[in-house]
Structure 1
Amino acid sequence: MSVDWQLPPQLEIPLEFVAAVRACKPTVNGKYAAQLLWQRGIRDLDRIPGYLDYNKYQPTSPFAFGAEMTAAVERLKKAYIYAEKVAIWGDFDADGVTATSVLWDGLGQFFKQGEGLSYYIPDRMKESHGLNNAGIKKLAAQGVDLIVTCDTGSTNIQEIEYATKLGVGIIITDHHTLPLQRPPVVAIVNPRYFEESHPLFHLAGVAVAYKLIEALYLTLPDIPQQPVEYLLDLVAIGLIADLVKLNGDCRYLAQKGIERVTLQNKTDIDGFRPGVNKLLQLCKRNGDRPTDISFGIAPRINAISRIHGDASFGVELLTSKDIDRCHELAAETELANTRRKELQKNMTLKVEAKLAELDLSTTSVIVLVDNNWSPGVLGLIAGQIAQEHGKPTILLSTSSDEDTIKGQPKIARGSARSTQNVDLYQLVNSQAHLLNSFGGHPFAAGMSINVENIPIFTEAIDRQLHAQIDKLPPLSIQTDLVVTVADLSVSSGRDLFEDLLLLEPYGMGNPVPKLLIKNCQFKDIKNKNIQDYKGNIVRYIRTKFELIDASSSKGFPGIWWGHYEHELPRVTCDAIVELDFNSYEKKMEVRLVEVRPAAIISTIADISKQPNFATRQVPLEILDFRHNSADEREDSAAITWVKKCPSNWSELQGYCQKAIRDRGTLALDYQTTNLASSREILEQLVGIAKYLSNTNEEIELERLKLKLAISDRTIRLGLDALVEIGFQISIQPETNLVKIVVTRSPIDGDIDLYSLLTVQKFFAAIEEEQFNRNYFLQVPTYAIESNLSSSNI
């Protein structure tokens, strides 16, 4: 997938603007923070104090929701006066679990928990998001008079009508897309009714639930025994975990909530939550950073339903005051998270195997279905696939035969994730008549569908997106700052880090700053499996490295999650990274986001600055057929065709020299996009070796190299690997004929084979070549022209 790297705009930042930023926190440098704010459109001097310091922000009243909030509060007031039974209907993700917890603790100040107040969370493995008739019927049988939803319910019209028939009232608190007509409920408190510029518009489900409790506190101020602010740590966890823009009241609540999360490290504070405290201990974080939530607490809460299905004990974990019970539940949560990581890795391999059967060149939307996939991790994997291939991805798991009621259609349930330029909700909702249930955001959604409807559903949304594809903006990564390794160092890097802290919390609308480091290299590269807190190996890979460039003699530590060491190129690169503090090792480090050969950014960015760029004469005409095959074009002796994708500049320059000598034209005509992986090439090499050994045949070294599409250096490394695996290699000097004989049983086990040093070196060489080929598949022709000029061809 080709993704453009957008360089930071060259903007003149007014000195008074930088001064205003520094005035909010005089101990920081301020220049980096000012640049980021200005680039992100926050240029009003009056807005800066409230944005950087929540104490100077004026939060919005919960009654800004108008008649809907008033109706909700009046109905809860009636339920309190008449001692009615109230049930909370939540959701199983982190936003839903924290929202349920906010209502459980908040409404628990008015209704006795366990008697007048209960909660219901659908099972991720057996039920979809949202209300369902079976659950409503169960609550009605328990004498529930009123259901208050959180993070769900806006589009469950039929289920709401069913509840009404049973005499159960519904108050909806939600933030998902609204139906065309208002549902027949007591109240629907949903910020989607506001204009997008409204400070409440982007509230997550947990924040909407908090606003309801805030309104109830204001209406009945003498009843609650604890301040409403005690709920803000839960609000921060849910806000940061969910895909919402952290601006307006969202940012304010997150900032205040993080302060409450930090306090959970102190057991003597009012409102202490032993469950949150223990989660922070297990993930070895302090709670003072948004990343402590996004990478620490939130994945663990999400893992409960991903592994167990039932997320109910997550509410107990977050709200119970029983320290021993919370420690027990936290340990179970930690194990669920480590199992989730391993399940995700194994499932990803299975999904990729099925993905290989698709023709991605003609596919606009990826839809895959299987009856053996665990629903719990489909959303995570769909996100990986969508990001990697730049296409919206829907992964569905079908119900087993045992789960299918006789005579009823087979159901598939799953998750969908989008790319940065496709409104997933609108795309899928266009075929809502084919779905049993559906809900979500423009970027993420969950759904259920009859299996028999999947083919027509897939064709319909694929055709619809294909018709729009030319109108969509190209995929891109916006870099925020260009820095050097020296800028990251402990001395000067502290200025950068402190400036970045000023803009926290990061999220949608205020993304983590992407730092571009040009002409850098990686050294001391090593990877390993991570371990769970009991020391058991979890098959989830991370690669550590040191980043170096010409600005500093000392490397800077970094990490690349989900990647092996041989995937990092050994050539000079441009890298996009995120700077953060490693709570485990108590040091700053970078997280690698994306890496490319240095020529992509340096050449493309700098070429337009060259003298006489607009009129510069290039000694060679270049035709580009890489994305438009030239098979049917008339051949010409004056054209030098490049049919094979180059793996380095020298190889391409050879073709250029020939075209210049012939006073002709260079034509790029290679379309290879599905490059074999290092493992596939190794398997092919071992297969050839076994065949040659069994038949006693020989093969020319050049032919072997061409069959595997690798260079002379790489094939030599491959032969070294064969020797260690269990083959004997001999090459005749005069003819370069290769003879291969098995000397012992070749190693077949994945772990033994792929951990061999010779195999790792072979993989590294392959990855470097494929890395470069991917570059030459997309390098613009003007970058080639620039390279020719600088090479004096």
Structure 2
Amino acid sequence: MDSFLSVARSVSGKRWRARLEDDRAALALAQQLEISEILARVLAARGIDAEAAETFLNPALRDLLPDPSLLRDMDVAAARMAKAIQAGEKIAVFGDYDVDGATSGALILRFLDAVGGDGIYYIPDRAREGYGPNAPALQILAEQGAKLVVTVDCGISAFEPLEEAAAAGISVIVVDHHIAEPRLPTAAAVVNPNRLDDESGLGQLAAVGVTFLLIVALNRALREAGHYADGRPEPDLLALLDLVALGTVCDVVPLTGLNRALTVQGLKVMAARGNTGLAALADIANLDEAPTAYHAGYVLGPRVNAGGRVGESSLGIRLLTTADAAVAHDIARHLDDLNKERQAIEAEVLEAALAQVEARGVSDAPVVLAAGAGWHAGVVGIVASRLKERYGRPAIAIAVEKGAGKASCRSITGVDIGAAVTAARQADLLINGGGHAMAAGFTVAEDKIGELGVFLMERLAAPVVAAREAASLGIDGAVTLEGASLELVEELAQVAPFGSGNAEPRLVVTDARIVNAKIVGRGHVRCILAGATGQRLTGIAFRAGGEELGHLLLSPTAGPLHIAGHLRPNRWQGRTEVQLVIDDAAPAAGDYV
């Protein structure tokens, strides 16, 4: 099997693989669209031909937004909510405490406010209540006068709580996107494209995408019922797309098709700063440029998440629904402080988890599992992600307290961790749990953690071996250091937004010499690269200080290198320069030994 630039084993132990298998496809695309060969390679590698290029590069909702009625139970849910609005019933939103949950809940509440509805919300405390609806919380909402409860980004596996709610006369609509079982919860409607009997083909949507379709259907139902006949203006649904973009990016669903259109248009809305809370958060984060998917996922998202992780779970939805600039500023500042606290807690838990894993030894274990008493449940998802990145296999981090462990799981391509968690729950190894192919969560009795570990190791052994054997680093093309220009960066930006399903273009800067390198920040390696003509380029390898990649970049004897990474604009003090975010490297003379 051919390797890109003949790199069969890089410093990270990976084979470099050309994402585009047939160069002729890129050449044909470049000629047909009159674009550069490198842009054509990137498009062709993502399966985009000349016919699909216009829709991909300029996605429009008018072309891609489906009829919401394609989703099972959608019309039932919209009719029930429309009836509640017109009857003046109080509608409660029960949301998850992550960004997808906060944006989904905020979407409904902002719509209700615009159409004269009466809405309240409930976000459970991560540590005290855990994930999903619980009977006491639903009873609290009923006591507050809620006649209808809409669960968002949760509820599909809340069988007992929703049975109790139904018995108490509480009407519930479930709006979710997590993997469903054949059995569905008791509810007036269950809207979930991942129901086994749903044929909409929209299973890649985040919960906020499903919620947006619900809002479209609800607005249509209100229009048909004459709600706007007395001169009440219809709300501008497109103005809510900033919330949809934020939730979609942060939930790491594929940024293709409808998700891509929602995100592209939503980022434009976000740039207009119409949402008071998001504008305040951008200011606190010193975001002074048009937001991209990177800013949504790594600048704004973590701050919205911080309340649910280490603070007050409702802070995110409060920020996204307020119209008061002073209130928004205070919440944004608080979330920023909580995010810093989260980072410190995360570092402590990660250090303990790494020590535990190293002491046990990884060897051939298909899954990395770490559990600790007193670990903060709000950071185990991030810790699991770090473990997955470090060891290249599915990882699970469990925070144990009072006889139970709350866990987050992160997986690698080709290994469905969500299905494994569902199987463990069906085997009575879990208190609750669920998720997606790449991420999942669960609660487990402390005395069953060992048995659960054995179950998951056995179930995932074969797919993990296959996935790791196929592990490689996808490369879109190669450039000289002199060719790594701002013009190239701007050209490749046409393929954005980047994320799951639409990987950011990865290029190899060939035959680069390192003229200076040092550790900066929390274990990052910053270096200055030079080309054959003496042209310089700044590079940075995040969290590489203790890795083989970092050792190579810092080595005074390193010869010319092929360096793989992402070219991005780096704006500083009014200047914009190109920066290479480094993923991997290999000696230009051959494989790393």
TM-score (ref. length: structure 2)? 0.89
Where do residues 47-196 of structure 1 align in structure 2 (5 Å cutoff)? 47-55=52-60, 58-112=63-117, 116-193=118-195
Shift of 1:252: 0.7
Alignment RMSD (CA, Å): 2.4
CA contact (8 A) 2:27 2:37 kept: no
Given that 2:481 and 2:510 are in contact with CA atoms closer than 8 Å, whether structure 1 keeps it comes out as no
Partners of 2:262 and 2:216 lie apart in 1 by 12
1:13 to 25, 36, 39: 25
Gaps of 5+ in 2: 1-11
Q: 2:447 aligns with which of 441, 452, 466?
A: 452
Map 1:420-459; keep pairs closer than 5 Å: 420-432=413-425, 433-459=428-454
Contact 1:111 1:117 in 2 (8 A): no
Deviation at 1:59, TM superposition (A): 2.5
Q: 1:166 to 1:62 in 2, by over 3 A?
A: farther
Identify the match of residue 542 of structure 1 among 513, 524, 535. Answer: 524
Q: How does 1:501-512 map to 2 (within 5 A)?
A: 501-512=493-504
Residue-pair matches, total: 562
| Amino acid aligned to 1:263 | A
How many Å apart are 1:245 and its aligned residue? 0.5
Q: 1:297 aligns with which of 297, 300, 306?
A: 300
Q: Which moved more, 1:99-108 or 1:3-12?
A: 3-12
Partner Cα separation in structure 2 for residue 370 and residue 56 of structure 1: 46
How does 1:235-254 map onto structure 2 within 5 Å?
235-254=244-263
How many angstroms apart in 2 are the aligned matches of 1:158 and 1:65?
Answer: 28
Q: Distance in 2 between matches of 1:597 and 1:584?
A: 30
**What is the match of residue 607 of structure 1?**
none
Q: Residue 750 of structure 1 aligns with which residue?
A: none
Alpha-carbon distance between aligned partners in 2 of 1:163 and 1:42, rounded to the nearest angstrom: 48
1:307, distance to aligned residue in structure 2 (A): 2.0
**What percent identity do the matched residue pairs reach?**
26
Structure 1 contact 413–449 (Cα < 8 Å) conserved: yes
1:38 Cα offset (Å)? 0.8
Distance 1:542 1:339 in 2: 20
8 Å contact from structure 2 (residues 72, 191) kept in 1? no
Partner Cα distance (2:586, 2:41) in 1: 27
Q: Distance in 2 between matches of 1:346 and 1:592?
A: 26
Corresponding residue SS for 2:534: strand
1:592 aligns with 2:581: yes
Task: Give the secondary structure class of the aligned counterpart of 2:107.
Answer: helix
> 2 CA distance for matches of 1:249 and 1:603?
43
> Within 2, Cα distance between the matches of 1:67 and 1:47?
29
Partner of 2:331: 329
Shift of the alpha carbon at 1:322? Answer: 0.9
Deviations 1:420-465 (A, max 9, x none): 2311112222211211111211111111000011111111111222
Q: 2:115·2:234 contact (CA, 8 Å) conserved in 1?
A: no
Confirm whether residue 461 of structure 1 aligns to residue 446 of structure 2.
no
SS at match of 1:240: helix
What secondary structure, in the 3-state scheme, does the structure 2 residue paired with 1:321 have?
A: coil
| Pair 1:41-2:47 in alignment | yes
Q: CA deviation at 1:196?
A: 11
SS of the residue corresponding to residue 191 of structure 1 reads coil
Aligned twin of 1:484: 480
Partner of 2:264: 255
SS of corresponding position for 1:581:
strand
TM-aligned CA deviation for residue 13 of structure 1: 3.1
Structure 1 residues 553 and 56, CA gap change in structure 2 (3 angstroms)? farther
Q: Does 1:278 align with 2:280?
A: yes
Tell me how far 1:189 sits from its aligned partner: 1.7
Residue equivalent to 2:554:
569
Asked whether the equivalents of residues 69 and 75 of structure 2 are also in contact (C-alpha less than 8 Å), the reply is no
Q: In structure 1, list runs of 5 or more residues that go unmatched.
A: 23-28, 265-271, 405-409, 530-539, 605-774, 777-793
Per the TM alignment, residue 111 of structure 1 is displaced from its structure 2 partner at its CA by 4.8
- Residues 551-572 of structure 1: CA deviation (Å, up to 9, x unaligned): x412112222234496433213
Moved over 6 A (4+): 194-199
Quickly say closer, same or farther: Cα 1:173–1:196, change in 2 above 3 A: closer
Aligned to 2:221: 219
C-alpha distance in structure 1 between counterparts of 2:198 and 2:167, whole Å: 35
Distance 1:457 1:562 in 2: 31
SS of aligned partner of 1:92: coil
* Aligned amino acid, residue 211 of structure 2: A
Mapped to 2, the partners of 1:259 and 1:107 lie a distance apart of 23
Query: Over alpha carbons, which structure has the higher Rg?
Result: 1
- Check if 1:233 corresponds to 2:247: no
Going from structure 1 to structure 2, the CA distance change for 1:525 and 1:94 (only over 3 Å counts) comes to same
Taking the aligned partners of 1:180 and 1:211, their CA distance within structure 2 comes to 23
Q: By how many angstroms is 1:197 displaced? A: 11
1:2 deviates by 3.6
